[in-house]
A and B are shown apart, each in its own frame.
Chain A
Amino acid sequence: MITVALDRCADDPRPFIEAAAPTHPSLIDSEHIVADRYDMVNVPTVVWIDEAGRVVRPNDVAFGSDQFKDLTGIESAPHLEALRAWVKDGTAPFTEDEARQRQMLPTPEVQLARAEFTLAWHLHQTGNVDAAERHFVRAGELAPHDFTIRRGSMPIRGLDPMGAPFAELYSEWIQAGRPYYVPLK
């Protein structure tokens, strides 16, 4: 397992990582490089990659336990059972064509949003906080349902990712019909 925290620095997820005491690589992706290359729009996102570096199961929401089952409606068992079958017996979850059909593909607007986010992040790092804010806002306008951009930028902008700005984002997302990854079965 490789975990990737889409957090602005190691300090934000540090309490969780220390509590987990991982023996696997626990990486920090402050610039959202993995989110961009894998077209991730929210967390958690899991991707299965085989020994040859091929994606065998594309982006999906999956949890390691049922801690959030009531909130998300997602049970952990089906994914964990499929995962065990793949790891132990090499049982592929999909054919290659089925895997491709289940990929959510980026649009030009999303790619521009990611460029705006990256610009905003670097502006913030160099102390240009006002300019950074303008470009974080622009990124959110271009990709309004991408949680990694709108919610992911809240900590660095001094907004509460658990508070009112998130509630607004969540409500918009529900009104848009909960756009997300194609449900994987």
Chain B
Amino acid sequence: MTQTNFTLIDEARPLSLLAALAGDRVRIDPEALRTELGWELKPQGLCKDDRCVPVKDRAEFITDDGVDLERFAAALHRPLALDVDARMACMGVPAADRIAAMASLNAPDFTLPDWQGRTHSLSDYRGKKVLLVAYASW
């Protein structure tokens, strides 16, 4: 099957991966999965660093054409928004992960540009009290 460029947004980070498209299924090149996301399929399951998660239905999960994207996201319990025709998808953060982070009461870090283009991170302001105010023109 011919491979094409596919954009997978990992939370907020867009990655360009080689993928094979067939109907409404997307198969990601396993090497791209390993180098860009750190995950690879081993005998004990889908693994990253020291962590492995079980994989059901291995024969469908990975074929010669690659790793099925929907099954990959499901194995990691990550929400997946997919547009096959547009060759783009976003894999988000599971609610359970957000809930655990919120329970810790650690303020999630972020890095954003200011209105004049300079970059700031919340962690730049450790040692000071911070009043974080989110607003919008809408």
Contact = CB atoms under 8 A, between A and B. Distances in A.
Nearest to A160: B138
Contacts of A51: 126-129
A13 B137 CA distance: 5
B132 A99 contact: no
Contacts of A17: 115
A178 interface: no
A134 B11 CA distance: 19
Interface of A is mostly: mixed
Contact of B102 (A3, A45, A103): A103
Interface of B is mostly: mixed
A119 B9 contact: yes
Nearest to B73: A115
A102 B113 CA distance: 30
Interface residues of A, number: 77
Given A114-B92, A115-B90, A122-B88, A46 B9 contact: no
Given A13-B136, A116-B90, A28 B115 contact: yes
A100 B105 contact: yes
Given A103-B103, A114-B93, 7 more contacts: A5-B135, A7-B138, A29-B112, A43-B135, A51-B129, A54-B107, A119-B81
